[in-house]
Structure 1
Amino acid sequence: MKKFLFLFLSAIVFTSCEKSVEFNNPAFQGLIDGSVWKATSFSATKSVSGGITIKGIAAAGNVELNINSTALGTRVLGTTNTSNFASYTLNAFNYTTGITSSSVNKIALSAGGTGYTTSSLVLTSGGLGSGLKVDIVANTNGVVTSVLVNAPGNNYRAGDLVTIASGNANAKFVVQNVVNSNGEVTITQYDGVTISGNFKFTAYDAVTEKTVGCQNGIFYKIPVN
């Protein structure tokens, strides 16, 4: 029992030390399509308008995050706000979270409408695509208060305005981003000297129409120029 306890405590100490070493120094890394990506060189450049570009270079490809300001918080990628985007380049492939047509990923309610009841798989109309169905929650006054994607359809684009059928057909939502182009960048610390945060994205190559996914991304104490 004592031997087991000793090995257990040793493992905890080793893991803690390993994390401490990793994050005592600037770092820019993540998982790209399940494989570890870690920048061997990186930079963060602030523009005159207040936006910031974080670049990481590695043999496994280059990652670039563009953010509209250094304010703390989360930016959604793949939306009509093209000031916020991510890209990944490898050889001749250039993946980006730009505007493209695909199945719906994220939506935002813009008008609650009237005459609705809480329902699932509700039909929709409008936008450039087809086949999108949603689950809705309505209050006692028949106003939609929540909407979630159930069937994502296809060929929609960020910015599409979609109407929820049933009720009085006057509840609407906006497509924020799509399956082939989405993600988030969160700034957790900025002191005017370095910047830290986390990110994830799905980006597409317009030529090959292939996608790449990045998860668990971290940028830590990157010096800002």
Structure 2
Amino acid sequence: MKKILSFVMLAIALGSCSEDVKFNNEAVFQGVKDNLFWRGQDANAVKSGNVLTISASTIIEHMSLKVPVPAVGIDPKNSDTHVKYPLGTSLTRTASYDFINDLGDEFFYETAIGVGDGEVVISEYDGVYVSGTFRFNAHNTDPESEAPEIVNVQHGTFYRIPVINEP
């Protein structure tokens, strides 16, 4: 009887040691916009010629990053291979944000040469997926607008965004 009881106790102890592991490999595009968490849906990256546009949207907001297409083979474990793109210094490296308010008015913010600042860092790119980080301060494109003059995005992350090749 002791052997059977010992076997049952051992079976219960070993059976309760399992762990269900779930992986979340969905594309992520998120950050802290004006000190509030922001997460976009339908994140995608479109490669058109030598330009890579990474973007995501909510129901009333859209955020996008445009950078030159990085070289294939960036090693996510080696920060020396990561590609950094400063914003506010070029028309080929930009960030933009737009939203629609309750009245249906649309407001646009962007970086350009001498307008806004920030940085996009590509930490993984293999031609199929792109990952990295970003931050930026984009200016309102309409000086007559009643919307805030600047939108600030910090701690931005995009992870395993699928790259679509556009002809």
Could you tell me the TM-score, scaled by structure 1's length? 0.52
Encode CA deviations 1:98-122: one digit per residue, 9 max, x unaligned.
Answer: 24xxxxxxxxxxxxxxxxxxxxxxx
Q: What does residue range 108-147 of structure 1 map to in structure 2 within 5 Å?
A: none
Q: Is the 8 A contact 2:131 2:158 kept in 1?
A: yes
Q: Give 5+ residue unaligned stretches, structure 1.
A: 1-16, 100-157, 159-179
Aligned length: 125
Aligned to 1:83: 92
CA distance in 2, matches of 1:223, 1:206: 30
Aligned to 2:55: 55
CA distance in 1, matches of 2:124, 2:42: 20
Q: Does 1:198 align with 2:137?
A: no
Aligned to 2:64: 64
Q: Does 1:41 align with 2:73?
A: no
CA distance in 2, matches of 1:24, 1:53: 21
Q: Does 1:184 align with 2:119?
A: yes
CA distance in 2, matches of 1:212, 1:185: 16
Q: Give 5+ residue unaligned stretches, structure 2.
A: 1-20, 72-81, 101-105
Letter in 2 for 1:212: V
Q: Secondary structure at the match of 1:37?
A: strand
CA distance in 2, matches of 1:28, 1:206: 23
Q: Secondary structure at the match of 1:187?
A: strand
Letter in 2 for 1:75: Y
> Would you identify which runs of 4 or more consecutive aligned residues in structure 1 move more than 4 Å?
none
Report sequence identity in percent. Answer: 35
Encode CA deviations 1:141-163: one digit per residue, 9 max, x unaligned.
Answer: xxxxxxxxxxxxxxxxx3xxxxx
Q: Superposition RMSD on alpha carbons, in Å? A: 1.9
Letter in 2 for 1:183: G
Q: Secondary structure at the match of 1:25?
A: coil
CA distance in 1, matches of 2:127, 2:111: 27
Q: Secondary structure at the match of 1:74?
A: strand
142, 150, 154: which is aligned to 1:211? 150
Could you tell me the TM-score, scaled by structure 2's length? 0.69
1:206 positional shift: 2.4
CA distance in 2, matches of 1:184, 1:196: 14
CA distance in 1, matches of 2:60, 2:30: 11
CA distance in 1, matches of 2:43, 2:52: 13
CA distance in 1, matches of 2:130, 2:110: 22
1:60 positional shift: 5.2
